[in-house]
Amino acid sequence: MAWVPGHIGYLANELADRLAKQKAEEVWKGTIEADSVIFVNGALRLARDMANKSWQRYWDRSESGVHAQMIIHQVNTKLLFPRNRNTGISYCRLLLGDTMLNYDSFRCGVADDPMCSFAKETETIEHFLLHCPLYADQRKLFFRALTLFGPLLEHVVHGKELYNSLRFGSLS
């Protein structure tokens, strides 16, 4: 076992170091017995699980990546990117909160006003995708097509409230 100075300042890592050191001392003193055999697959699974849990704690506490966190709640989530490059770029911009919508452009100093010129509401990603009356017809067609997937859609939108809104057409 070796002490890694890079863990300083990370409370979870410091706690893990203390607990590991405590267990190592207990094994050394003979108060507990260490497993005599560990298989490579078991060690790899344990390391992967520890890394994922640590990564999830960091993700949950992080103040950056807020736009992505609203869409991707769990680390190690597999994302499918479209083959079309322009669609993929739009997808990434939505995840990063770096769109050409007025809210993001205003935040970056490119637009004079964060408001939607059509609806007189803040032109956020949510407004654009779910509420802007300018795209109501396209949105209804899109949501009707999505509801064919039923439970899959509920899983994708992370919750029954939004799923039911989509399913029963209560969004504008």
Q: Are 163 and 153 in contact (CB under 8 A)?
A: yes
How many Å apart are CA 52 and CA 60, to the nearest integer? 12
> Model's pTM, two decimal places?
0.49
| pLDDT on residue 172 | 47
Q: Are 75 and 52 in contact (CB under 8 A)?
A: yes
Nearest partner of 26 among 18, 34, 36, 37, judged by Cα: 34
| pLDDT on residue 150 | 58
- Amino acid symbol at 66: V
Tokens at 63, concatenated: 């103040």
How many Å apart are CA 64 and CA 69, to the nearest integer? 9
pLDDT, averaged in runs of 10, over the chain (172 residues): 59 80 84 79 86 90 80 82 86 84 91 92 89 91 73 53 53 48
Residue ranges of domains in the chain: 5-64, 71-168
